[in-house]
A and B are shown apart, each in its own frame.
Chain A
């Protein structure tokens, strides 16, 4: 048997690991490739030719822009609400023990722990029971709920790492609660807040599972996309939209990740 050091991986193990890694990135490359294909009715591979035509066609479509605008505004409003309500929650929950704190923690985990479909159908039944019309604000309500949780998780983790002695030192030196917040707490948590906000924005923009229940007749970009999957009209345009969605959601998440990494050092 070929000798190798006992704690070195076999060639097979190394190949397997890298193969899985490649497998995980394959689909993204596929999407980008197909955005340039000349075939307009099939998904044939290899693509018959490459073109930028579909990008222009997509940019000319009014319905795509409308859906994009809706998605962006929903994400903006939901993120705004999330930043305010999420920060308030984090400030209240960061320290101190009080009755009901554990219940609140469980409550704040539910939107992420329960499958999206539960949240979706729950919101829908509430909307129907209250005899509301599904629309912009119902979409925002659904998104804001998990956006709050995302911002909360980011900010509370940062707040808990803030040494209590800094806050005490600030007050000891003469700064009241508000000044301490402005000079010490806020600068230290700004990156976490920003990261949470960007994460929330990206996830709201991409949200489909709950939105399908709460949107009624409105179409966010993911909903537009979902509908197009079943009506293969101009497939490459769908591919272009896919690339756009990918970039709009990926960039904020990447930035948020870099921010949290820097904050943790």
Chain B
């Protein structure tokens, strides 16, 4: 054993290879291999008559994705939801994160941290299902609005074309609420971390120079917390962009990118189209990452 030890000690490269080759082999074949297959599939096309994949490289599938109006619809719909969710998460996370960091006593702060992390760890599917229950026609939210006399208002909101739907649990606004709920911890935690890095002395200096709390927040805290916001937004944006479960469970009839991918590989068997569609979120996320990086997101992660 000692000889083996000394042998490997004198050959650090071999030792490294011994450690890294098995996992990298797995990763390379299972993960990278799959990704390459995906990209490969996206440059093939499906023959419309035989419904079989034609294995000659073509950009026709990509063209289909970015030019057909129905597809553009889908992409824009998903994109706008992602942006809306990101903005909403940011707006909600700011007050609670700020409170957590600045004003809460140490014990309350610990409670808040655990309280924010706990829902993050709960089962994803169970959380989605719970919202289905809450938003259901006779569920808690309807009951609450009814007892407050807002039942008619809810009906009116649901009739608005862009955000409404047949019922709350099958509408865009319902979907929006669920998305915001799901990704809120992912926005709160990096934001809180970034806010913690803002030294108390800066805020005191600002107050000393005559700024009221709101002004200090707007001029000192917010700009310095931007990296945290950017980091959190990366999560909310990419998670919404690629999700297909929530739109299926709590969604209006309109399709989202994720649902398109899932559906195309399933019943239609059109893997090239599914593949091409799945490249869209990758591209969008990379663009968003480039923007977020400028805002300092990578320093806050």
Contact of B115 among A25, A122, A254 (CB under 8 A): A25
Cross-chain contact A45 with B23 (CB below 8 angstroms): no
Binds B, one of A58-66, A184-192, A243-251: A243-251
- Interface majority SS (helix, strand, loop, mixed), chain B: helix
Cross-chain contact A254 with B278 (CB below 8 angstroms): no
Contact of A229 among B132, B239, B244 (CB under 8 A): B132
Query: Number of A residues contacting the other chain (C-beta, 8 Å)?
Result: 82
Q: Which residues of the other chain, A, contact B132 by a CB distance below 8 angstroms?
A: 43, 229
Contact of A28 among B32, B33, B130 (CB under 8 A): B130
Cross-chain contact B35 with A122 (CB below 8 angstroms): yes
Q: Which residue of A lies closest to B129 (CB)?
A: A242
Min CB distance B107 to A, Å, is: 14
Cross-chain contact A9 with B271 (CB below 8 angstroms): no
Cross-chain contact B134 with A30 (CB below 8 angstroms): yes
Name the interface residues of A210-233: CB closer than 8 Å to any CB of B. 212-213, 222, 225-226, 229
Q: Which residues of the other chain, A, contact B239 by a CB distance below 8 angstroms?
A: 115
Number of A-B pairs whose CB atoms are under 8 Å? 245
- Interface majority SS (helix, strand, loop, mixed), chain A: helix
Residues of B that sit less than 8 Å from A by CB: 1-2, 4-6, 8-9, 12, 16, 19-20, 22-24, 26-27, 30-35, 37-38, 40-41, 92, 95-96, 98-100, 102-104, 112, 115-119, 121-127, 129-134, 136-140, 142-143, 181, 184-185, 203, 207, 213, 238-239, 241-245, 249, 258, 261-262, 265, 271, 274-275, 278, 281-282, 285
Residues of A that sit less than 8 Å from B by CB: 6-9, 13-14, 16-17, 20-21, 23-28, 30-31, 34, 42-46, 81, 85-86, 88-89, 91-93, 96, 98, 104, 107-108, 110-111, 113-119, 121-126, 128-129, 141, 144-145, 148, 176-179, 202, 206, 208-209, 212-213, 222, 225-226, 229, 238-239, 242, 245-246, 249-250, 253-254, 257
Can you give 28 contacting A-B residue pairs, CB < 8 Å? Answer: A7-B207, A17-B104, A20-B92, A24-B181, A25-B119, A27-B181, A30-B133, A31-B130, A42-B136, A43-B136, A45-B139, A85-B22, A92-B19, A96-B16, A98-B16, A117-B243, A121-B261, A124-B265, A145-B30, A176-B6, A212-B262, A213-B262, A222-B125, A225-B129, A229-B129, A242-B126, A245-B123, A257-B117
